[in-house]
Structure 1
Amino acid sequence: LLVFDALGARRDSNGRFALHAAGRLQAADILLDEASVTATENAIMAAALAKGTTVLRNAASEPHVQDLCHLLVKMGCPIEGIGSNTLIIHGQERLRGAAFNVSPDFVEIGSFIGLGAVTPGALRIQGVIPEHLRMIEMVFCHRLGVDMRVVEDPAAPYTGYSLEIAPEQELRVRPDFGGAVPKIDDAPWPQFPPDLMSIALVVATQAQGTVLIHEKMFESRLYFVDKLVSMGAQIILCDPHRAVVVGPQRLHGQAVSSPDIRAGMALVLAALAAEGVTTIGNIEQIDRGYQRIDDKLRALGAHIQRVTS
């Protein structure tokens, strides 16, 4: 909302927000107070049709933000600094239509990396972009011992690369220098994405060793660990931002509920790694971030069924 204020919109609040603009918005030099993806994308779209050149500082730079910028460029809005934290957007009176291929979802890819890590079968993910996986690879491979590799694949759609995850993983936490407990933490792109912290936590429950999960960016992302503990995981919740995971621990089926998108998918991974049957409620949360996830998992051989209560 502060972005729209800076661009000249008038904001009314009477139980709900209403935005008004007399004609076109006006360009501005805007400093975001945090590198929020949603705020950045809304600012980009508004600036694309504002009068003049907008400078957006401390902008988010995730691949989907870059996709939006590249699409707007094809639609006729010049944007400088794509992929950086400072964007210069030259507003236009109107845009034209364009065809565009959306990049593969690095969060879904990271989630399937976790799936391959905690289940015994081999997994091949077609159509990955290696540059998007560098920090994800650093955490899963170098911290948690996941055996995976990017390979050239002419059959892979759009990118020409696939990711292969080896079967029968021997997950092992790599300690820090001097045998210190290592840490997995999140930060704005290109650091490890917060949307994969829950996935990394589940993988850590199946890895030999101890690791500290430090969720820096959100206050409530770790509150689902009690559900993993009920399934047999050994996790100490230190505070709303930190949890110590000791693995490996054999998980068993349990009735749990999905508190949010990412925790919900993490519970799906835990259920597939567990012995017995797990029932996950509130799956509407999972559906928000993972389209037809039950169909995809059944295609991989998972015994998963969507039921209506």
Structure 2
Amino acid sequence: MTTTHAPSVAAEVIAVRPGPPLAGTVSVDGSKNAALPLLAAAAALGRPLRLSNVPHSTDVQIMLTLLQQAGWHAAQPVGEPTTYVVLPTEASRGLPDLAQAAHIRASYYLVPALLARYGQARLPWPGGCRIGARGMELHFKVYEAFGDRSRQDSSGYGIEALTSHTGTVSITLPFRSRGATVAATLRALTTGRPLRLGQPNLSPEVLSVLDALSSVGWETRADEHVLTLSPPSSPPAAPVAWTVPGDKIEAATLACAIAATRGTARINGVQGKDVGAFMLALHQLGIPVDAEPDGLTVRAQEAALTGRPLRAIASLSPAGLDADFEPPLMALALGLPGTHLFADAINPGRHGNLLPQLSRLGAEIEEISPTKCRLTGPQQLTGAGAEAADIRTGSALMVAGLTARGVTTIGGLDQLRRGHADLSGKLRALGADICEVTP
């Protein structure tokens, strides 16, 4: 296979063939799921800020465009391709039309900054991966707790800041919603009010926002029961600089690819503490993996595959398995002995995307319910045409294609690139036989 080099033409499909065990060293990009709320936090802060390790995935580029359209300046310093300086412009404009917000789910993170700048926010209903209904009712309850008023219609929603309240805002979430936790945190930032949030989401992406607020003087305390925020008596005068953490999902996908090919390789740029539940899953499958503060080493050449069953159950609990770890683990488990169970009730439409695409490669997966399935391995897959119906389905197909007989072609790259700027390039750096075929 040959690679067509045409930067001005978007790749039509990715072609994957099996090859030798992956080996070497590779670095992950910044996390898309962490960069999006940090960019919104930078806007909500209302002062100049440098954000580094920003990934070039499509969703992040759309968020940067939305910031520009909404009245913030976001520019890259010369010679720093993954750094942006974000600051509000002086021009006073009316509430902007942010039609592109319909293309990403994380556009709702902009609401607090828009309320602080314009006194109101108007956005289309968020888009993103089609992996099941994920409503915003809990977001509206958060804003109402701050004294804001919400309204909705078929085209979108609006939030209006009615009055300037004072005092602590206290609210308990009915489940550990990452979006609602970030919304409450950023609204506290823009109002300068203390927050007491029960049953918060404490994922690494939320913790990166809390660390960012701590760096500008906010007192943050969090455990699995309650999150409290207290504003600083006076914001620090020092320049503000934040860093997007490494992409734990990209690291997990690369680790599954290394393990699927029985390779040994190092993945730099991810914090071991962010992938604890994923590492436990690999250990259950008999695959050695070591974590350091700044990376992972997968030693699948030393694997002792005992056939122990894996139970990969997506969870919102602080120590639980992130739902985005499940698809690459499923692709890996297809080639390993044992009967393995997978469940993702957080994204109820994901299996409806993932399972049919894996079945195109010959995977036999028993669907117990729309959100639960089991499979018995090892299975021999055969290359075929498949579609990245969402970001994580696309990355799981790349893992599966590395062990399938023949050529696997993956379309729908616009979905894959929403979360990964160049996942195929990272796999190639480890020796994978992958190329992008352009029209």
Letter of the structure 2 residue corresponding to residue 212 of structure 1: L
Offset from partner CA, 1:143-179 (integer Å, 9 cap, x none): x22222235xxxxxxx4x432212546573654xxxx
8 Å Cα contact 1:231-1:254 kept in structure 2: yes
Extract structure 1 runs of 4+ deviating beyond 3 A: 22-27, 91-97, 167-175
The aligned residue for residue 164 of structure 1 is: 297
Equivalent of 2:372 in 234, 239, 242: 242
8 Å Cα contact 2:217-2:231 kept in structure 1: no
Equivalent of 2:199 in 55, 58, 61: 58
**Which consecutive residues of structure 1, in runs of 5 or more, have no partner in the other structure?**
152-158, 176-180
Offset from partner CA, 1:186-237 (integer Å, 9 cap, x none): 2113111111111111111010111111223221121221221221222111
Equivalent of 2:159 in 14, 19, 36: 19
Q: CA RMSD in A?
A: 2.3
8 Å Cα contact 1:49-1:93 kept in structure 2: no
Q: 1:64, 1:85 → 2: CA distance? A: 18
Letter of the structure 2 residue corresponding to residue 296 of structure 1: K
Q: Percent identity?
A: 26
Give the superposition deviation at 1:273: 2.0
Equivalent of 2:323 in 186, 194, 200: 194
TM-score when normalising by structure 2: 0.62
Q: 1:118, 1:6 → 2: CA distance? A: 48
Q: 1:252, 1:89 → 2: CA distance? A: 53
8 Å Cα contact 1:48-1:91 kept in structure 2: yes
8 Å Cα contact 1:60-1:85 kept in structure 2: no
Letter of the structure 1 residue corresponding to residue 423 of structure 2: I
Greater RCO structure (CA 8 Å; 6+ sep): 2
- Secondary structure at 2:197's aligned position in 1? strand
TM-score when normalising by structure 1: 0.86
**Which consecutive residues of structure 2, in runs of 5 or more, have no partner in the other structure?**
1-139
Offset from partner CA, 1:9-65 (integer Å, 9 cap, x none): 121223321111145465421111221112211211111122431111111101111
The aligned residue for residue 286 of structure 2 is: 145
Give the superposition deviation at 1:132: 2.3
Equivalent of 1:3 in 109, 134, 142: 142
8 Å Cα contact 1:173-1:207 kept in structure 2: no
Q: 2:310, 2:432 → 1: CA distance? A: 32
2:405 is aligned with 1:251 = no
8 Å Cα contact 1:231-1:252 kept in structure 2: yes
8 Å Cα contact 2:307-2:336 kept in structure 1: no
Range with greater deviation from structure 2 (60-69 or 224-233): 224-233
Give the superposition deviation at 1:95: 5.8
8 Å Cα contact 1:49-1:91 kept in structure 2: no
Q: 1:249, 1:185 → 2: CA distance? A: 21
Letter of the structure 1 residue corresponding to residue 335 of structure 2: Q
The aligned residue for residue 48 of structure 1 is: 189
2:398 is aligned with 1:268 = yes
From the superposition, tell whether residues 94 and 292 of structure 1 become closer, same or farther in structure 2 (CA, over 3 Å): farther
Aligned length: 294
Letter of the structure 1 residue corresponding to residue 213 of structure 2: L
